[in-house]
Amino acid sequence: MTTTTEPAYDYADLPRLMGRMTGAEKHGPAATSTLDALWVLYDRVLDVTPERMDDPGRDRFLLSKGHGPMAYYAVLAAKGFLPVEWLEDFGSYDSPLGHHPDRVLVPGAEIGSGSLGHGLPLAVGTALGLKARGQSEARVWVLVGDAEMDEGSNHEAVAYAGPAGLERLHVLVIDNASASYARPGGIAARFEAAGWSAETVDGRDHEALYAAFTAPHPGRPRVVVARVEPKEYAGEPKSA
Amino acid sequence: MDTMRDRLAPVLTRLLDEDPRVAVVLAEIGKDGFTEAMRDHPDRVINVGIREQLLVGAGAGLALAGLRPVVHTFASFLVERPFEQIKLDFGHQGVGGVLVSAAASYDWPAGGFTHMSPGDVALLDTLDGWTVHVPGHPDEAEALLRHAVAAGDDKVYVRLSVQANEQALAVDGARFLPVREGRSGVVVAVGPMLDQVLAATEGLDVSVLYATTVRPFDEEALRRAVGAGPSADVVIVEPYLAGTSTSAVNDALADLPHRVLGLGVGRRELRRYGTVEEHTAAHGLDAASLRGRITGFLGERTRAGVVS
């Protein structure tokens, strides 16, 4: 698998990288909603590099909300997981980069996603597996959308992981107010009720995101709800 | 005789002791057998509560972390309810695991249709790359469970049932076994159907093959049993949805004129309680019904070998 080492890209380069992907404008708002949170994670929080993708002790990032993966691909390219040149053919027959990512095709992608409600249960299992293998340092992050939290599978995972004390597990909820029925009390309250450590921050504020991502939470899984501007359209069913 | 399911916890407990890669995931059902294993291996025996989507998703997550997950509950809740999790969390992610079901097609008739899963193997047939074991005896279940766990990162389904044959055969996790030879057709008996099939074909001039690993389908064994004739007649008797393996038989005999009769559990919901035997009869899978259906399909020549 081709990977690029020593990338020289920064946050300011991401719009240009995303601009290289064409033909999927409908994914635009869904893609940019995750951009800042993804950047802060990959730039300052996650302990993973392209060279360490076979290292069982690496941190795992699972993109559950696979819709609108342009920001994800741009960050992976910026960090050298995949060649920047791949971005040009986004969505084409010969491209490894689809409108939903495939872990078998995309270097750096821990899961293939598209259908909502799969990443969080997979992350629970991955956290359990790393614990069973004695990888005590490795952390698991999973990104979900606020509407994705409607899926019952996510409720199963939230209700289990809190009482089970899965402290390596982290959920990042990108809240662009896309759920048809807002949650009374807010998203974080649902997690807190299940025993999670929870915090809600401005999803565009890099320092706030970093502080929330790195806050200690001994004995409990952690959720960070990153609020971003509401989605401007409702073009795709279940676009999370 | 104990049941296949009685073997599950003891076998897996030994495998948990022997192999640090093995993990067991449960959703309350079956947990009592794992009390000791849970104490000895708390990180590798996981009960997620009554949460079947999480059960399968977490099992696949364990595989992503490098473990060999064994996921168990009743077939309805293991294969049917979280079917998309099986398709995506194992198949699409490209990871393997072992799914072990209990309750089968009608193991608990008094429990009604909610706990029946005659369609499980047909559902898995819509996916790529699943090995399917259908043991016909607790000893075979034990052997096939060990094969399943040892099968690298393969995706394997093991279907346990209270229906069982009197005698265990030496199954190897791959091949069909020739049990009887004849010239007027081949009857393939799957797992717990063998005793009924042998009784049904007593004195008939037919070959009987015994299949406990139905996917991949042992095409070579069927070709050998069919022989060098210009055509072939095949009956397959399965303990799940009738016709599930008919296309596999067709594929095996694609270059030979042939007829296939697929017998198994009917699609129509009976809405009856009662006993396993009553349901077997209702689906026409008891020996007397099978004999009539098999001879009706193969015709008078099956009786050529009968010594009255």
Q: What is the pLDDT of residues A133-167, one digit of tens each?
A: 999 899 999 999 999 999 999 999 999 999 999 99
Residue of B nearest to A64 (CA): B89
Pick from B49, B61, B85: CB nearest A123: B61
Neighbours of B2 (CB within 10 A): 11
pLDDT single digits (tens) A70-84: 999 999 999 999 999
- Is there a single domain that holds both residue B235 and residue B198? yes
Q: Does residue B307 carry a pLDDT above 60?
A: no
Q: Which of residues 41-60 of A touch B (CB under 8 A)?
A: 56, 60
CA B198 to chain CA mean position, Å: 18
Q: What is the ipTM, given to two decimal places?
A: 0.94
pLDDT of residue A3: 54
Q: What is the pTM of this model?
A: 0.94
DSSP per-residue letters across A22-66? -S-GGGHHHHHTTHHHHHHIIIII----GGGTT-TTS-EEEE---
Cβ-based contacts of B90 with chain A (< 8 Å): none
Domain-embedded: residue B224: yes
Residue A171 pLDDT grade (very low, low, confident, very high; cuts 50, 70, 90): very high
- Is there a single domain that holds both residue B133 and residue B199? no
pLDDT of residue B305: 52
Rounded alpha-carbon distances, angstroms, from residue A2 to A20, A58, A109, B96 = 19, 19, 14, 25
Mean pLDDT, residues A99-123 taken together:
97
Best A153, A154, A169, A238 member to test B by mutation, with max B CBs in 10 Å, is A153
Domain-embedded: residue B172: no
How many domains are contained in chain B? 2
- Is there a single domain that holds both residue B150 and residue B182? no
- Is there a single domain that holds both residue B121 and residue B8? yes
pLDDT of residue B149: 98
Domain-embedded: residue B151: yes
Q: Residue ranges of the alpha helices (H) in chain B?
A: 4-18, 35-40, 52-64, 75, 83-85, 120-124, 138-150, 194-200, 219-226, 246-252, 276-282, 287-298
Mean pLDDT, residues B81-102 taken together:
98
pLDDT single digits (tens) A178-205: 999 988 889 999 999 999 999 999 999 9
pLDDT of residue A2: 52
Kindly report the backbone phi and psi dihedral angles of residue B240, in degrees, each rounded to the nearest multiple of 5, phi listed first: -130, -165
Taking CB atoms and an 8 Å limit, are A132 and B65 in contact across chains? Answer: yes
Distance from CA of A184 to the nearest CA of B (A): 24
pLDDT of residue B267: 97
Report which of B297, B192, B291 is spatially closest to residue B240, judged by C-alpha positions. B192
pLDDT of residue B303: 66
- Is there a single domain that holds both residue B150 and residue B193? no
- Is there a single domain that holds both residue B148 and residue B252? no
% of chain A exceeding 70 in pLDDT: 90
Distance from CA of B76 to the nearest CA of A (A): 17
Does A157 reach chain B within 8 Å, measured CB to CB?
Answer: yes
Distance from CA of A166 to the nearest CA of B (A): 11
Taking CB atoms and an 8 Å limit, are A103 and B94 in contact across chains? Answer: yes
Parallel, antiparallel, or unpaired for β B130-133 and B213-215? antiparallel
- Is there a single domain that holds both residue B137 and residue B283? no
The overall average pLDDT reported for chain A is: 91
Last residue of a domain, one of B131, B159, B187: B159
Copy the structure tokens of residue A142.
């999973």
Q: Number of CB pairs < 8 Å for A and B?
A: 107
Q: Does residue B13 carry a pLDDT above 60?
A: yes
- Is there a single domain that holds both residue B154 and residue B205? no
Task: Round to whole Å and give the CA distance between A54 and B224.
Answer: 45
Mean pLDDT, residues A213-227 taken together:
98
Q: Domain range for residue B46?
A: 4-159
Sheet harboring B177-180: ordered strands across? B177-180, B207-211, B186-190, B232-241, B258-265
Distance from CA of A137 to the nearest CA of B (A): 14
Pick from A115, A121, A135: CB nearest B61: A121
CATH of the domain at B45: 3.40.50.970
Q: Does residue A22 carry a pLDDT above 60?
A: no
Cβ-based contacts of B73 with chain A (< 8 Å): none
Q: Does residue B302 carry a pLDDT above 80?
A: no
- Is there a single domain that holds both residue B192 and residue B131? no
CB-side exposure of B140: number of CA atoms within 13 Å?
31
Q: Does residue B36 carry a pLDDT above 90?
A: yes
| Sole residue written with tokens 């396993």 | B276
Report which of B162, B155, B176, B74 is spatially closest to residue B120, judged by C-alpha positions. B74
Pick from B43, B46, B53: CB nearest A153: B53
Residue B228 pLDDT grade (very low, low, confident, very high; cuts 50, 70, 90): confident
Taking CB atoms and an 8 Å limit, are A127 and B61 in contact across chains? Answer: yes
Number of H helices, E strands in chain B: 12, 12
- Is there a single domain that holds both residue B147 and residue B10? yes
Mean pLDDT, residues B202-207 taken together:
97
Distance from CA of A182 to the nearest CA of B (A): 24
pLDDT of residue A27: 45
Taking CB atoms and an 8 Å limit, are B89 and A102 in contact across chains? Answer: no
pLDDT of residue B23: 98
The secondary structure of chain B in percent helix, strand, coil, rounded to multiples of 5, reads 40, 20, 35
Distance from CA of B62 to the nearest CA of A (A): 5
Residue of B nearest to A152 (CA): B53
Pick from B44, B66, B88: CB nearest A118: B88
- Is there a single domain that holds both residue B19 and residue B132? yes
Q: Does residue B273 carry a pLDDT above 70?
A: yes
% of chain A exceeding 90 in pLDDT: 83
Pick from B44, B61, B94: CB nearest A125: B61
The overall average pLDDT reported for chain B is: 96
Which residues lie below 8 Å from residue A11, measured CB to CB, with a gap of 6+?
A: A39, A43
- Is there a single domain that holds both residue B24 and residue B149? yes
Best B52, B71, B89 member to test A by mutation, with max A CBs in 10 Å, is B89
Rg of chain B taking only CA atoms, in angstroms: 19
Does A112 reach chain B within 8 Å, measured CB to CB?
Answer: yes
Rg of chain A taking only CA atoms, in angstroms: 17
CATH of the domain at B207: 3.40.50.920
Asked if B265 contacts B118 with a C-beta cutoff of 8 angstroms, the reply is: yes
pLDDT single digits (tens) A25-57: 444 566 789 999 999 999 999 999 999 999 999
Residue A238 pLDDT grade (very low, low, confident, very high; cuts 50, 70, 90): very low
Task: Round to whole Å and give the CA distance between B88 and B95.
Answer: 10
| Sole residue written with tokens 């490098």 | B66
Domain A11-234 has CATH 3.40.50.970: yes
Taking CB atoms and an 8 Å limit, are B85 and A127 in contact across chains? Answer: no
